[in-house]
Structure 1
Amino acid sequence: MAPRIKIVEDEEKIARVLQLELEYEGYEVSIDYDGLHAWENIQEETFDLYILDVMLPGLSGMELLRRIRREKQTEPVLMLTARDATVDKVTGLDQGADDYMTKPFDMEELLARIRVLLRRGGAAAGQEEALTFGALTLNVPRREAFRGEDLLDLTPREFDLLHCFLEHPNHVLSREQLLDQVWGFAYAGETNVVDVYVRYLRQKMDKPYEAAYIRTVRGVGYVLKEPVS
């Protein structure tokens, strides 16, 4: 079955070009031109990937993204913005977007990013429901993280970061590897964003407890290891 892609774009010419290109590539495409109508359809249908414009009538692309993630939907989301504004990109990534592109964009690059996101989404769908390591448990479909019996209050980005660590326990991960797997290959910011989010994650996952799981490997990156008793 062809992957289903939802496009939410209020510029009809752009939406139509995207539809024609994606259908030519073999995808099934559904278009909405405003956020409110899109949200109604998203609640009634299932899609494999979302392409959301940031500036939309009714509901903004950011609000749509928040609602999608609030409903525990984990399908990839690619944001489109007409402004090359760092704040839009950072906000979108923090809310759980998987990638972004600035208009005008190169169609071949967009198609390449869609292929990458769909591969990642397919891999995530095939994962076990729960990942465990020591006292840590991740319920992937519900996007819930636990340390012992305690539910950890994680942001979407913190959850994705912990997910990455739990997929590679006892393996040292460089900042570049974490950027690629958690923020996406197209992220153009500084690698110190990894340090910032590792600190956020430690504050919630390690600091309230006697032993820490995440350890720093100086000059390289981080590793998830069983705490030393």
Structure 2
Amino acid sequence: MRILVIEDDARAASYLVRGLNESGHVADTVDDGRSGLDMALEGIYDALIVDRKLPGMDGLALVQALRRQGLRTPVLMLSALDSTAQRVEGLRAGCDDYLAKPYAFVEVLARLEALQRGRDPVAGLSRTLRVGSLQLDCASRTATREGQVIVLQQRESLILEKLMRHCDEVVTRGMLLESAWDYDFDPIDNVIDKHIYRLRRKLDAGFSHSLIQTVPGVGYRLVRDDEDRLDP
């Protein structure tokens, strides 16, 4: 998942971002409500973690603004305010879940995974994707093709996840960048092409055809391995 952390406490934000990155996700962070609203409205995030008390625009107002704009991205709100009335207020503002501070990171992660399951039930409890004979366990970053185990690096796994979720569709290089790199990343020339090259070598080793097709000038498309073949 790509997750935006909107938190003005630098220590708390760093703790969350580090934990999310180590768990195989891509995390961006911003420390004020108005900037957080602008970034969230870009529509590139799978989930938002929002502190309730933020400078510029508080968390409740931010979530209400998102919902008025029609953005349905799941929101986990974090707050030291934990009375029943305050939790209800957060949920009614449009939050999908509400977690009191102090919290353990493992609970933040579990709640994010639950929100994602609710949004994408096909992924299931194990967050496993399947396209033809290709299977990807998003948690362990391990793929299999016709039973052959393929160990992936973090960014390779995130790129493959994006391609599998959009199987048979053209996925642009920009979409792949958004799925696997954080907001501040300054892309170098051909960074996506280089990762696709390495991913193909792993996926296609021992097979006569490639699962990832190049769409010249646009991006890439992952096809099922029972379809008519095209040169990559």
TM-score by length of 1: 0.51
Deviations 1:161-196 (CA, angstroms, capped at 9, x unpaired): xxxxxxxxxxxxxxxxxxxxxxxxxxxxxxxxxxxx
2:108 pairs with one of 107, 110, 132:
110
Cα gap change, 1:107 to 1:41, in 2 (>3 Å) = same
Q: Are 1:48 and 1:121, in contact at CA under 8 Å, matched by a contact in 2?
A: no
Q: Are 2:76 and 2:97, in contact at CA under 8 Å, matched by a contact in 1?
A: yes
Cα distance in 2, alignment partners of residues 68 and 113 from structure 1: 20
**Residue 30 (structure 1) aligns with:** 28
Aligned length: 123
> How far does residue 72 in structure 1 lie from its aligned partner after superposition?
1.3
> How far does residue 92 in structure 1 lie from its aligned partner after superposition?
1.1
- Percent of matched pairs sharing the same residue: 37
Q: Are 2:5 and 2:50, in contact at CA under 8 Å, matched by a contact in 1?
A: yes
Cα distance in 2, alignment partners of residues 79 and 15 from structure 1: 13
**Residue 49 (structure 1) aligns with:** 47
Cα distance in 1, alignment partners of residues 38 and 111 from structure 2: 26
1:83 pairs with one of 60, 69, 81:
81
1:9 aligned partner, one-letter code: E
Cα distance in 2, alignment partners of residues 39 and 7 from structure 1: 11
Deviations 1:88-117 (CA, angstroms, capped at 9, x unpaired): 211111122111111100111111111111
Cα distance in 1, alignment partners of residues 119 and 97 from structure 2: 13
**Residue 204 (structure 1) aligns with:** none
CA RMSD for the aligned pairs?
1.7
**Residue 71 (structure 1) aligns with:** 69
What pairs up with 1:138-177 in 2 under 5 angstroms?
Answer: none
Cα gap change, 1:5 to 1:83, in 2 (>3 Å) = same
> How far does residue 124 in structure 1 lie from its aligned partner after superposition?
9.3
**Residue 8 (structure 2) aligns with:** 10
Structure 1's unaligned 5+ residue stretches are: 126-229
1:94 pairs with one of 79, 88, 92:
92
1:73 alignment partner, SS class: coil
Cα distance in 2, alignment partners of residues 9 and 100 from structure 1: 15
- Structure 1 residue runs of 4 or more that deviate by more than 4 Å after TM superposition: none
Deviations 1:19-73 (CA, angstroms, capped at 9, x unpaired): 0000001111010100011112222342100110000000000011001111111
1:44 alignment partner, SS class: coil
Cα distance in 2, alignment partners of residues 78 and 90 from structure 1: 13
Q: Are 1:5 and 1:47, in contact at CA under 8 Å, matched by a contact in 2?
A: yes
> How far does residue 82 in structure 1 lie from its aligned partner after superposition?
1.2
Cα gap change, 1:112 to 1:18, in 2 (>3 Å) = same
Cα distance in 2, alignment partners of residues 57 and 95 from structure 1: 18
TM-score by length of 2: 0.50
